[in-house]
Structure 1
Amino acid sequence: MLRKLFYGIGIFFLLSNTGFAQLPDFTEMVKNNGDAVVNISTTQKAPDAQIPGADQQQQLPQDVPPEMEEFFRRYFQGPGRGGVVPRETNSLGSGFVISKDGYILTNSHVVNNASEIIVKLKDRRELVAKLIGLDESSDVALLKVEAKDLPIVEIGSPDQLQVGEWVLAIGTPFGFDQSVTAGIVSAKGRSLPDGNYVPFIQTDVAINPGNSGGPLFNMQGKVVGINSQIYSRSGGYMGLSFAIPIDLAMNVVEQIKTKGKVSRGWLGVQIQDVTRQLAESFGMDRPHGALVAKVIPGGPAEKAGLQIGDVIVEFNGQVVETSGELPPRVGVTPIDEAAKLKIIRQGEKQDISVKIGLLPAQQAVAQANDTTSPADTANNRLGISVSDLTAEQRQQLQVEKNGVLVQKVGKGAAQDIGIQPGDVILRLQNSSVRDSAEFNKLVNKLPAGKSIAVLVQRNGNPLFLAFKLEK
Structure 2
Amino acid sequence: MLALALALQASARAAPESFADLADQVSPAVVNITTSTVVAAPTEGGPIVPEGSPFEDFFNDFGNQGPDGPRRSNALGSGFVISEDGYIVTNNHVIEGADEIEVEFFSGKRLDATLVGTDPKTDIALLKVESPEPLAFVRFGDSNLMRVGDWVMAMGNPLGQGFSVSAGIVSARNRELSGTYDDFIQTDAAINRGNSGGPLFNMSGEVIGVNTAILSPNGGSIGIGFSMASNVVSRVVDQLREFGETRRGWLGVRIQDVTPDVAEAMGLAAAKGALVSDVPDGPAKDAGILPGDLITSFDGAEVTDTRDLVRRVADADVGKAVRVVVLREGKSETLLVTLGRREAAEAEETGTSDAPPAAPVQKDILGLTLSEMTDELASELGLPAGSSGLVVTGIDETSEAYGKGLRSGDVITEAGQQAVASVADLEARIEEAKEAGRKSLLLLIRRGGDPRFVALTVE
> By the TM > 0.5 criterion, same fold?
yes
> Once the two structures are aligned, what percentage of the paired residues are identical?
37
Output aligned runs, 1:354-433, within 5 Å.
354-359=337-342, 360-363=344-347, 366-369=350-353, 371-387=355-371, 388=373, 390-395=377-382, 401-410=387-396, 411-433=398-420
Q: How many residues matched? A: 441
Q: 2:37 & 2:120 partners in 1: Cα distance?
A: 17
1:211 is aligned to 195
Task: Give the superposition deviation at 1:66.
Answer: 9.3
2:332 is aligned to 349
Q: 1:275 & 1:172 partners in 2: Cα distance?
A: 44
* Secondary structure in 1 matching 2:99: strand
Q: 2:349 & 2:201 partners in 1: Cα distance?
A: 39
1:453 is aligned to 442
1:160 is aligned to 145
Q: 2:340 & 2:165 partners in 1: Cα distance?
A: 42
Whether 1:23 aligns to 2:15 is yes
2:130 is aligned to 146
Q: 2:143 & 2:400 partners in 1: Cα distance?
A: 45
* Secondary structure in 2 matching 1:213: coil
Q: 1:17 & 1:275 partners in 2: Cα distance?
A: 41
Task: Give the superposition deviation at 1:361.
Answer: 4.5
Q: 1:99 & 1:461 partners in 2: Cα distance?
A: 45
Structure 1 residues 259, 124: CA separation in 2 closer, same or farther (over 3 Å shift)? same
* Secondary structure in 1 matching 2:364: coil
Structure 1 residues 235, 319: CA separation in 2 closer, same or farther (over 3 Å shift)? farther
Q: 2:175 & 2:90 partners in 1: Cα distance?
A: 20
Q: Deviation digits for residues 109-144 of structure 1, max 9, x if unmatched?
A: 211211111212122223221111112223221111
Whether 1:335 aligns to 2:318 is yes
Q: Deviation digits for residues 388-443 of structure 1, max 9, x if unmatched?
A: 36344443x79994444433211323123232234333332212344667556655
Counterpart amino acid of residue 218 in structure 1? N
Counterpart amino acid of residue 77 in structure 2? G
Output aligned runs, 1:71-150, within 5 Å.
78-79=67-68, 85-147=69-131, 148-150=133-135
Which shows bigger deviation, 88-97 or 16-25?
16-25
Output aligned runs, 1:173-192, within 5 Å.
173-192=158-177
Q: 1:218 & 1:192 partners in 2: Cα distance?
A: 23
Which of 255, 259, 271 aligns to 2:243? It is: 259
Structure 2 alignment gaps of length 5 or more? none
Which of 23, 27, 39 aligns to 2:32? It is: 39
* Secondary structure in 1 matching 2:359: coil
Task: Give the superposition deviation at 1:367.
Answer: 4.7
Q: Over the residues paired in the alignment, what is the CA RMSD in angstroms?
A: 3.5
Alpha carbons 2:356, 2:408 under 8 Å: kept:
no
Q: 1:109 & 1:398 partners in 2: Cα distance?
A: 41
Q: 2:153 & 2:275 partners in 1: Cα distance?
A: 37
Whether 1:465 aligns to 2:454 is yes
* Secondary structure in 2 matching 1:278: helix
Structure 1 residues 40, 370: CA separation in 2 closer, same or farther (over 3 Å shift)? same
Structure 1 alignment gaps of length 5 or more? 1-10, 55-59, 80-84
Task: Give the superposition deviation at 1:468.
Answer: 1.2
Alpha carbons 2:283, 2:337 under 8 Å: kept:
yes
Task: Give the superposition deviation at 1:153.
Answer: 0.9
Q: 2:117 & 2:399 partners in 1: Cα distance?
A: 53
Alpha carbons 2:156, 2:199 under 8 Å: kept:
yes
1:4 is aligned to none
Counterpart amino acid of residue 102 in structure 1? G
Which shows bigger deviation, 251-260 or 144-153?
251-260
Q: Deviation digits for residues 296-346 of structure 1, max 9, x if unmatched?
A: 2x2111111112222222211222212111112111211221111222223
Task: Give the superposition deviation at 1:236.
Answer: 4.2
TM-score, length-normalised on structure 1? 0.82
Alpha carbons 1:49, 1:87 under 8 Å: kept:
no
1:243 is aligned to 227
Which shows bigger deviation, 345-354 or 231-240?
231-240
Structure 1 residues 443, 380: CA separation in 2 closer, same or farther (over 3 Å shift)? farther
Alpha carbons 1:281, 1:451 under 8 Å: kept:
yes
* Secondary structure in 1 matching 2:168: strand
Whether 1:227 aligns to 2:229 is no
Q: 2:181 & 2:13 partners in 1: Cα distance?
A: 39
Alpha carbons 2:415, 2:442 under 8 Å: kept:
yes
Structure 1 residues 23, 278: CA separation in 2 closer, same or farther (over 3 Å shift)? same
Q: 1:75 & 1:192 partners in 2: Cα distance?
A: 34
1:3 is aligned to none
Q: 1:267 & 1:364 partners in 2: Cα distance?
A: 14
* Secondary structure in 2 matching 1:197: coil
Q: Deviation digits for residues 69-108 of structure 1, max 9, x if unmatched?
A: 9x99x999942xxxxx534433222100112222101111
Q: 1:140 & 1:180 partners in 2: Cα distance?
A: 21
Which shows bigger deviation, 227-236 or 338-347?
227-236
Q: 1:289 & 1:22 partners in 2: Cα distance?
A: 40
Alpha carbons 2:354, 2:381 under 8 Å: kept:
no
